């Protein structure tokens, strides 16, 4: 591999990182932060919190679950072998860009049937998932099969997944700032079997 090729790849890598950051910055200007803060009282009132998402969306919610656990919430990731049954008083945070992912919709149906509340992160408020949700938090990103590049130049649902990760981190940061618990206290909940 010649140095010209390495330099071209390095320049391309830098340009693509800048594209990703710019798209997330633009998306941030389009968010309804009043709507997004509506999740906080639902979290505070829930007995337990469950999260579900497929693929990279699910990974973003697993990261959110970890931060909520650090904050002191009892949190479970749907599909894990130690996840208990959801029940009345619990909250399911479900994410699907399209709001049609069958496993996510089925989980939301089961949660509602059990008496739990559902909060959905999605790109649309017109979907089977949205119809089940107490609250739909809109992320104005491209859906995974939106290949026209009108909303995002990134592949598939990358912008949605990135925004979900960043928003849930911002949500944690907001609740933590309001609570004031020292980082040293939160750290006591961090996994120690690593």
Nearest to 53 by CA among 91, 96, 9, 84: 96
Residue 1 pLDDT greater than 70, yes or no: no
pTM to 2 decimals? 0.92
Nearest to 122 by CA among 138, 144, 133: 138
Q: Which residue, chain included where needed, has tokens 């959905």?
A: 120
Listed in sequence order, the residues at least 6 apart from 131 whose beta carbon sits closer than 8 Å to its beta carbon are: none
Nearest to 141 by CA among 125, 163, 119: 163
Residue 146 pLDDT greater than 70, yes or no: no
Task: Confirm whether 161 is a catalytic residue.
Answer: yes
The overall average pLDDT reported for the chain is: 93
Q: Which CATH superfamily is domain 32-187 in?
A: Glucose-6-phosphate isomerase like protein; domain 1 (3.40.50.10490)
Evaluate whether 43 touches 69 at the Cβ level (below 8 Å): no
Can you name the residues that pair with 120 across neighbouring β-strands? 94, 136
Average pLDDT of the segment spanning 138-147: 77
Residue 190 pLDDT greater than 70, yes or no: yes
- Sequence length of the chain is 194
Catalytic, out of 23, 161, 184, 185? 161
Evaluate whether 125 touches 152 at the Cβ level (below 8 Å): no
pLDDT value of residue 102: 97
pLDDT in tens, 60-111: 999 999 999 999 999 999 999 999 999 999 999 999 999 999 999 999 999 9
Torsion sign over Cα 186, 189, 192, 194: negative
Average pLDDT of the segment spanning 48-59: 97
Residue 157 pLDDT greater than 60, yes or no: yes
């Amino acid at each position: 591999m010649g140095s010209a090729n390495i330099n071209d790849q390095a320049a391309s890598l830098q340009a693509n990182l800048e594209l990703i950051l710019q798209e997330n910055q633009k998306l941030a200007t389009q968010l309804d932060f009043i709507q997004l803060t509506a999740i906080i009282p639902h979290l505070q009132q829930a007995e337990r919190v469950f999260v579900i998402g497929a693929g990279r969306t699910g990974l973003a919610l697993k990261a959110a679950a970890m931060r909520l656990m650090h904050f002191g919430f009892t949190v479970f990731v749907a599909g894990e072998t130690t996840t208990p049954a959801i029940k009345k008083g619990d909250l399911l945070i479900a994410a699907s860009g399209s709001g049609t992912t069958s496993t996510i919709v089925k989980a939301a149906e089961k949660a509602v049937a059990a008496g739990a509340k559902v909060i959905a992160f999605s790109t649309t408020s017109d979907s089977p998932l949205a119809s089940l949700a107490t609250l739909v938090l809109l992320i104005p990103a491209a859906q995974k099969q939106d290949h026209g590049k009108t909303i995002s130049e990134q592949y598939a649902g990358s912008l949605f997944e990135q925004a979900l990760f960043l928003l849930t981190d911002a949500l944690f940061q907001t609740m933590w700032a309001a609570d004031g618990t020292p980082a040293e206290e939160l750290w006591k909940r961090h996994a120690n079997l690593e």
